[in-house]
């Protein structure tokens, strides 16, 4: 039997994790505690260091600084196989000449698990991902989603203390991605597993994770629950990543507690007010109001609001997504229930609780 690390750990402590490639800092001091049983999503744009972080945790890539501990035991100097984590790669990386069963049992055979127990544990993993009917097939005979399920079963068959997944759904079509998302959550709960899940898709992170870690340029920007990240991004960059597609420059007109009215526009152009919540006390004159398209609404002309000239509308089933321009040329994205004509002028108001005002 191979050394099994920390099956009953309480906390994975990552402290000051760093990784350089030449002069380039792919990871620049990442610190994070992950509790047993948690589902943590690492979220961030391409190149921010998500895969590098995951590979360092797995032991596939040596760190150039920092430590990783399971409770009190330092593990960052252990080999990959000594850490005993389960890994699901974006590319699946199944063995093409092995059946589904043999792929799933691979890690157990490597660990010298005896025949009867091996068989029992493979059966359990096959059933968990609902692949009983396909167990005798080769990967080449499976659909993308089925291969993905085999990759997940292979990672969890060894009953790892930690499951690491690197964008496992990115190769799947939209429908299958939704189905697999639910499967991954179900398997996580059923196994009582601890999962670290890398994605650049905010919706995936919001729906799957107990806690989201937003990364940028090799650093942690914000850690919080899905609701915290969704409702109150800490700065404009995180807001941008969390779907606040409109970022409108202006200056503060009034501030009362959290409530800020912002004159959208620049000097020399007519300015009009939108209202939101202050994200920092002591906001300056120059601010940016960030708001999702769904949190802007068209209201009657004459009421205070932002006048926008419609440039484009797209049918979205339930309604329309429109793009327009303010008097000073800022682009505005908003949702509207009925069709608009190009060149129409609409008067927009923001949901004052959902629009967020940041220092410029
Ligand atoms: N082997 C390497 N040599 C040099 N630079 C590397 C190497 N691996 C990664 N990098 C750089 O480190 C940075 C982080 O890469 P990483 O693969 O962790 O990004 P990511 O967040 O996973 O991005 P993506 O969403 O595109 O997968 C990138 O700028 C990348 O170019
Ligand atoms: Mg990556």
Residue 122 lies in a domain: yes
Residue 302 lies in a domain: yes
Of the chain, the end-to-end C-alpha distance in Å amounts to 58
158 has a pLDDT exceeding 90: no
How far apart are the CA of 236 and the centre of ligand 2, in A? 23
* Whole-number pLDDT of residue 5: 55
Average pLDDT over residues 232-253: 94
* Whole-number pLDDT of residue 1: 35
How far apart are the CA of 90 and the centre of ligand 2, in A? 8
Residue 6 lies in a domain: no
Average pLDDT over residues 264-268: 85
Q: Is the dihedral of CA 228, 232, 235, 236 positive or negative?
A: positive
* Whole-number pLDDT of residue 2: 41
Indicate which atom in ligand 1 lies nearest the CA of residue 19: 12
Domain boundary among 174, 208, 236: 236
Q: Give yes or no: residues 310 and 208 share one domain.
A: no
Q: Give yes or no: residues 206 and 255 share one domain.
A: no
Domain boundary among 236, 267, 301: 236
* Whole-number pLDDT of residue 160: 87
* Whole-number pLDDT of residue 161: 84
Average pLDDT over residues 102-112: 91
Here the CATH number for the domain that contains residue 222 is: 3.40.50.300
3 has a pLDDT exceeding 50: no
Residue 2 lies in a domain: no
What total of structural domains would you count in the chain?
2
For the Cβ of 52 lying below 6 angstroms from any atom of ligand 1, the answer is yes
Determine which residue's CA is closest to atom 10 belonging to ligand 1: 26
Q: Give yes or no: residues 274 and 338 share one domain.
A: yes
Q: How many CA atoms lie within 13 A of 9 on its CB side?
A: 28
The helix/strand/coil state of 177 is helix
Q: Give yes or no: residues 168 and 207 share one domain.
A: yes
Average pLDDT over residues 128-146: 90
Strand order across the 11-21 sheet = 24-35, 11-21, 65-70, 73-74
Pocket of ligand 1, candidates 20, 28, 47: which has the most ligand atoms within 8 Å of its Cβ, to mutate?
47
For the Cβ of 21 lying below 6 angstroms from any atom of ligand 1, the answer is yes
Q: Give yes or no: residues 329 and 276 share one domain.
A: yes
For the Cβ of 276 lying below 6 angstroms from any atom of ligand 1, the answer is no
Contact 14, 68 (CB under 8 A): yes
Indicate which atom in ligand 1 lies nearest the CA of residue 218: 14
Q: Give yes or no: residues 222 and 139 share one domain.
A: yes
Pocket of ligand 1, candidates 49, 53, 54, 215: which has the most ligand atoms within 8 Å of its Cβ, to mutate?
49
Average pLDDT over residues 249-278: 90
How far apart are the CA of 292 and the centre of ligand 1, in A? 29
- Average pLDDT of the chain is 91
Residue 22 lies in a domain: yes
Average pLDDT over residues 256-262: 92
Q: Give yes or no: residues 38 and 128 share one domain.
A: yes
141 has a pLDDT exceeding 50: yes
Q: d(Cα 344, Cα 334) in Å, to the nearest integer?
A: 14
310 has a pLDDT exceeding 50: yes
Q: Is the dihedral of CA 276, 280, 282, 283 positive or negative?
A: negative
Q: d(Cα 102, Cα 289) in Å, to the nearest integer?
A: 55
When pLDDT is cut at 50, 70 and 90, the band that residue 183 belongs to is confident
Q: What is the pLDDT of residues 312-350, one digit of tens each?
A: 999 999 899 999 999 999 999 999 999 899 999 999 999
β-strands 163-166, 86-88 pairing: parallel
11 has a pLDDT exceeding 80: yes
Residue 241 lies in a domain: no
Q: Give yes or no: residues 128 and 225 share one domain.
A: yes
Q: Give yes or no: residues 206 and 261 share one domain.
A: no
Average pLDDT over residues 222-244: 95
Domain boundary among 187, 206, 236: 236
Here the CATH number for the domain that contains residue 252 is: 2.40.50.140
How far apart are the CA of 49 and the centre of ligand 1, in A? 6
- Ligand closest to Cα of 55 equals 1
Q: What is the pLDDT of residues 74-89, one digit of tens each?
A: 999 999 988 889 999 8
Q: Give yes or no: residues 217 and 276 share one domain.
A: no
How far apart are the CA of 44 and the centre of ligand 2, in A? 10
Instruction: Tell me the whole-structure pTM to 2 decimals.
Output: 0.89
Residue 128 lies in a domain: yes
Residue 3 lies in a domain: no
Q: Give yes or no: residues 103 and 184 share one domain.
A: yes
DSSP states of 56-120 = HHHTSS--SEEEEEETTEE-TTS-HHHHT-EEE-TT----TTS-HHHHHHHHHHHTT--HHHHHH
Determine which residue's CA is closest to atom 3 belonging to ligand 1: 21
281: domain range? Answer: 248-359
Q: Give yes or no: residues 222 and 264 share one domain.
A: no
């Amino acid at each position: 039997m191979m050394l099994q690390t920390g099956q009953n750990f309480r906390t994975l402590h990552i402290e000051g994790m760093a990784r350089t490639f030449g002069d380039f800092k792919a990871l620049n001091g990442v610190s994070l505690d992950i509790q047993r049983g948690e589902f943590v999503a690492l979220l961030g744009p391409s190149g921010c260091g998500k895969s590098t972080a995951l590979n360092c945790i797995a032991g596939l890539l040596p760190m150039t600084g920092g430590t990783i501990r399971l409770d009190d035991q330092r593990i960052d100097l252990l080999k990959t196989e000594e850490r005993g984590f389960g890994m699901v790669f974006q590319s699946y990386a199944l063995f093409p000449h092995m059946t589904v069963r043999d792929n799933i049992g691979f890690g157990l055979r490597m660990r010298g698990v005896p025949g009867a127990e091996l068989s029992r544990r493979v059966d359990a993993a096959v059933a968990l991902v609902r692949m009983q009917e396909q167990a005798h097939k080769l990967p080449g005979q499976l659909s993308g989603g089925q291969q993905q399920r085999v990759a997940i079963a292979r990672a969890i068959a060894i009953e790892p203390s930690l499951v690491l997944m690197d964008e496992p759904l990115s190769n799947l079509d939209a429908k299958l991605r939704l189905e697999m998302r639910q499967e991954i959550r179900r398997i996580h709960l059923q196994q009582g597993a601890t999962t670290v899940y890398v994605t650049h898709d905010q919706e995936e992170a919001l729906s799957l994770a107990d806690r989201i870690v937003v990364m940028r340029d090799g650093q942690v920007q914000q850690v919080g629950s899905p609701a915290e990240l969704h409702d109150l991004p800490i700065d404009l960059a995180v807001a941008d990543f969390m779907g606040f597609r409109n970022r409108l420059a202006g200056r503060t007109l009034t501030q009362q507690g959290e409530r800020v009215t912002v004159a959208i526009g620049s000097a020399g152009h007519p300015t009009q007010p939108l209202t939101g919540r202050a994200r920092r006390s002591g906001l300056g004159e120059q601010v940016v109001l960030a708001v999702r398209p769904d949190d802007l609404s068209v209201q009657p002309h004459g009421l205070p609001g932002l006048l926008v000239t419609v440039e484009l509308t797209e049918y979205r089933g339930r309604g329309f997504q429109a793009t327009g321009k303010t008097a000073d040329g800022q682009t505005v994205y908003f949702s509207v229930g009925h069709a608009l004509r190009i060149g129409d002028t609409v008067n927009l108001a923001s949901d004052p609780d959902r629009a967020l005002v940041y220092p410029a």
